[in-house]
Amino acid sequence: MLSALLDELADHHLVQLPRGRDGWDNAQPPLPRWIRLPSPTSTPKPTTTRAAAAVVWRRELSWATAENLTPSQVEVLKLINRWLRDTDGDSERRSIVPMRERSLEIFGDEKRLDSLIVTTLFAPGRLRLDTLHTERIPPPLAYERLGGGSTLLVIENSDTFETITTLLEANPGNIGYVAFGGGHAFEASAARVARLTGVRDIAYYGDLDDDGLTIPQRANATAVASGLPPIRPAHGLYRLLLQHSDQRPAPKPVDRLDAERRVAWLPSTLRPQAANILISGTRLPQEATGMALLRRDNSWRDDL
**How is 102-135 classified by DSSP, letter by letter?**
HHHHHHS-TTHHHHHTTSGGGSTTS--GGGGTEE
| Average pLDDT rounded to a whole number, residues 48-68 | 81
Amino acid at 291: M
CB 156 within 8 A of CB 111: no
pLDDT at residue 21 is higher than 90? no
Confirm whether 177 is domain-assigned: yes
Model-level pTM?
Answer: 0.82
Which has the closest alpha carbon to 109: 117, 118, 100?
100
Do 156 and 124 sit in the same domain of this protein? no
Final residue before a domain boundary, out of 135, 156, 191: 135
pLDDT digits (tens, 9 = 90+) for 261-295: 999 999 999 999 999 999 999 999 999 999 999 99
**Residue 129: domain span:** 46-135
Q: Comparing 20 with 218, which gets the higher pLDDT?
A: 218
pLDDT at residue 180 is higher than 90? yes
Between 67-71, 75-79, 153-157, 275-279, the lowest mean confidence (pLDDT) is in: 67-71
Do 148 and 289 sit in the same domain of this protein? yes
Look at the chain and report how many structural domains it folds into: 2
Confirm whether 87 is domain-assigned: yes
Specify the pLDDT at position 46: 46
Which has the closest alpha carbon to 203: 226, 221, 225, 179?
179
Confirm whether 22 is domain-assigned: no
Between 18-27, 90-99, 196-205, 272-281, the lowest mean confidence (pLDDT) is in: 18-27
pLDDT-based confidence at residue 50 (cuts at 50, 70, 90)? low
CB 77 within 8 A of CB 107: no
Do 238 and 158 sit in the same domain of this protein? yes
Do 116 and 180 sit in the same domain of this protein? no
Final residue before a domain boundary, out of 135, 169, 190: 135
Tell me what the pLDDT averaged over the chain comes to.
Answer: 92
Percent of the chain with pLDDT over 90: 78
Final residue before a domain boundary, out of 135, 154, 189: 135
| Average pLDDT rounded to a whole number, residues 143-158 | 96
Give the three-state DSSP class for 221.
helix
